Amino acid sequence: MSSAPSVEAVRAALATVNDPEIHKPITELGMVAAVDVAADGVVSVTVLLTVAGCPLRDTITRDVTAAVTKVPGVTDVRLTLDVMTAEQREELQTKLRGGVPAKEIPFSRPGSMTRVYAVASGKGGVGKSSVTVNLAAAMAADGLNVGVLDADIYGHSIPRMLGANGRPTQVQNMIMPPSANGVKVISIGMFVEGNTPVVWRGPMLHRALQQFLADVFWGDLDVLLMDLPPGTGDIAISIAQLVPTAEILVVTTPQQAAAEVAERAGSIATQTHQQIAGVVENMSYLPCPHCTAEGKEHRLEIFGSGGGRRVAEGLGRLLGHDIPVLGEIPLDPRLREGGDEGKPLAVADPEAPASQVLRSIATRLGHRSRGLAGRSLGLTPVGR
């Protein structure tokens, strides 16, 4: 009967396993967090992935298991995959850059007091950008220092909706964002001519986000809102990697079809280990204008009802804890008009029913945190 292998022998075997993307030994990259060898030859290994949604996790599992199994005396291999912390990723990046530290993202810095919300939806057309803009303007009107990052690179619309007509100013390698309605804002739309489409693939999208987070001088923000594109693609994964503390705010409409895909968008939190701040139901109902005129209250549920509640309940079951429905925003044509004119309804008419719901959500989210925040693409502001 052979004796159990030594920890050193197992680590030597792990040193033969290369990360499939970086092509360096996982031991050299600091990916091996723990190795334990039991008396009966069962080996337990914990490997840290660089990002939660790593597409090559199956390859790492296969290669680690195969390498450790070959060590004499090993009877079984039990592999646990975890995710690197922001500090561990920074150390890895510095190591890969030859000791030169990467540019720091203030919102990922330990001790950052900025509350970061990634506003997500399963599909387009649910008013996600309108919700983002109105929440930002309402928070700013409430005295908070607020920033908005338009992370919807292909469908950027935040500058128009927020009324941000200014251009960023570049001071050496630092980008100074324009402000509108008391909100600092940055968007790829500020760096392209006219309505030129942005035709980029994953790596370029990631680098643009990284630059917006690290190179833009946001100052001391209380809240940063990031308007994500619909779905769970490259941008959502990059946000989770660059700002792992960002909380997901899911926007849906009442109908079943929208609720199902919105739940999918929120469920990315199970892979990225992010928190879900809550669910916002937009276009919930239309207050009957005739009934209102007669002093009565009647709701016309044009898109059905209960979508926000269904999304919250579904995500709650998935995550094992309650997810709140933060508000149900009624239909109001002035929300659309305000977006076209760059005048968010939440501040243009604070007493409107839709504004009251939006301001209530803004207060609830904004006052959870009040404190300090914490040219790889060669972007140059248009007109400069």
| Residues that constitute the known binding site for ATP | 122-129
| CA–CA gap between residue 381 and residue 384 (Å, rounded) | 6
Tokens at 375, concatenated: 């040219």
Do you know the residue count of the chain?
384
| CA–CA gap between residue 48 and residue 64 (Å, rounded) | 12
Q: At what angle do helices 7-14 and 57-69 cross, to 10 degrees?
A: 140
Tokens at 59, concatenated: 């390859």
| CA–CA gap between residue 269 and residue 84 (Å, rounded) | 16
Sign of CA dihedral 200, 234, 170, 129: positive
Could you list the residues known to form a binding site, using ranges: 122-129
